[in-house]
Each structure stands twice: as structure tokens, then as C-alpha cells.
Amino acid sequence: MAEKNVWIVIPAFNEEATIKQVIKSLKKHGWRNIIVVDDGSVDNTPSIAEREDVIVLKHIINRGLGAALGTGIKAALDLGADIIVTFDADLQHKPEDVERLIKPIIQGRADVVIGSRFLNKEYLKGMPLSKKIGNIGLNIITYLLFGAKTSDSQSGMRAFSRKAAQTISIKTNRMEVSSEIIAEVARKKLKKAEIPIKAIYLRKGQSVWDGFKILGKLILKRLME
């Protein structure tokens, strides 16, 4: 797989406690092309990342997950990426899953691969009940609004071929970007695959209120199309 130019994009906001370990674990598994997008952090996230010999891009203010992903994906394309992987900065994802994530793209079976936390029941044991319910609800909403099916619309671990990254248009700035990406994959008729991944939950994550905000913004996006 070394012949492919793979870039990892890590959106980060106030992740000084974990960003160093995330970068080091990715490098340990052979992934050295890393872009950290610091989304207006008020802690030491950017300075810690800069010491780890990776590309660090900075938003002056917090613009949101969607904006950070957009910045990172564009930068990876400019650097000639063949495959782009998005990876959370909070130690939720396992770097050993990256190779499995990109395999369907390398084999030509997919343009986009979603790392799904819902494909293996054993992997669901550590997921908080509120997160399970919220994610399933947003899966349903994503399908009802955009006709896009997926088992894990809110997964932060995804892989894009260069073609897919160039084709998908990210317009939303915040958490609703996850559903927007799934909708774009369906709308642009890109080939999608899903692989099971196990997530590690060290923090609470999105609240119920966050879920309602995502829902409201997705409905607004649908009405504006």
C-alpha cells in the first residue's frame, strides 16, 4: 500500500491532552503524512502538534468541524493525496484500522469508506446509550432528508479517494458535516463501503442538545437545496 500517497487529516479543538499521543500512534503504524487543523483552540493544541513534525493549519477562531475538515481535505489535495483519511483527535480511533479503511479504495471497490461502529455488536458495548440512540436517530434523519443510507452517519473516521475528495462539496461548518458527507456521497453517486471499527470513549462526546442542533441544520440545508 506504500505506493499510494495517503494523508491523514485530524481536526482538533482544545485537544492538548491527546493530540500528541494521536500523532505518535499514527506514526508508529507507518502513517507519517499528517495534517492537523487547529480550529481556533485556546489551549496548547497547535504548539504541541507543531513539535511532532506534522503540518499544522490554524483557524484564527473556532469555525467548527465542517470547516476544519474542509481546510484539511483541500490541503491534502494540494499536496497530491491519492487517499485522504479523517481521524479524530481525542483517541477515539485506532490507528491500526486505517489500513483496513483504505483497502476498498486501493482495490477499486469504493470511492468513500466509512468506519462504522455499528457493524460489529461486540464493538458497541463501550458506546454510551445516549450516543447509540442519537447516532441511530441521525442515521434515520440522514436517510429521510437525503435518501442516503449508512449504518454510522456520525463516524469521524472516513477515507476518500482523490476523486471523491474533489467531488464532494462541504458547505456546512459544524457537526452536521458528517451527515452532509453521506448525503454528498449519495447525490454524487460515489461508490461507498463500510468497515467495522471499534471506538474508545474517553469523553462524553455530543450532547442531546448537539443532536437537536444538527437536526435543525440538516433540515435547513435540505430546504435550501
State percent of the chain over pLDDT 70: 86
pLDDT at site 210: 57
CA atoms within 13 A on the CB side of 113: 25
C-alpha distances in Å from residue 147, one per residue of 140, 169, 189: 9, 17, 12
Q: What share of the chain is helix, strand, coil (3-state, %, to 5)?
A: 45, 15, 40
The residue count of the chain comes to 225
Contacting residues for 96 by C-beta, under 8 A, at least 6 apart: 29
For 41-74, write each residue's pLDDT tens digit.
Answer: 999 999 999 999 999 999 999 999 999 999 999 9
pLDDT category at 225 given cuts 50, 70, 90 is low
Q: Report the run of H or E that residue 84 belongs to, with start and end.
A: strand 83-86
Q: pTM of this prediction?
A: 0.87
Domain boundaries along the sequence of the chain: 6-224
pLDDT at site 88: 96
For 97-134, write each residue's pLDDT tens digit.
Answer: 999 999 999 999 999 999 998 887 776 666 777 777 87
For 137-195, write each residue's pLDDT tens digit.
Answer: 888 888 887 778 899 988 999 999 999 999 999 988 888 899 899 999 999 999 999 99
Query: Distance between CA atoms of 31 and 34, rounded to whole angstroms?
Result: 7
Question: b or e along 145-154 (b: 16 or more beta carbons within 10 Å of the residue's beta carbon)?
Answer: bbebebebbb
Domain 6-224 grouped into CATH 3.40.605.10? no
- Grid coordinates representing 211? 443532536
pLDDT category at 2 given cuts 50, 70, 90 is very low
Query: Distance between CA atoms of 134 and 37, rounded to whole angstroms?
Result: 26
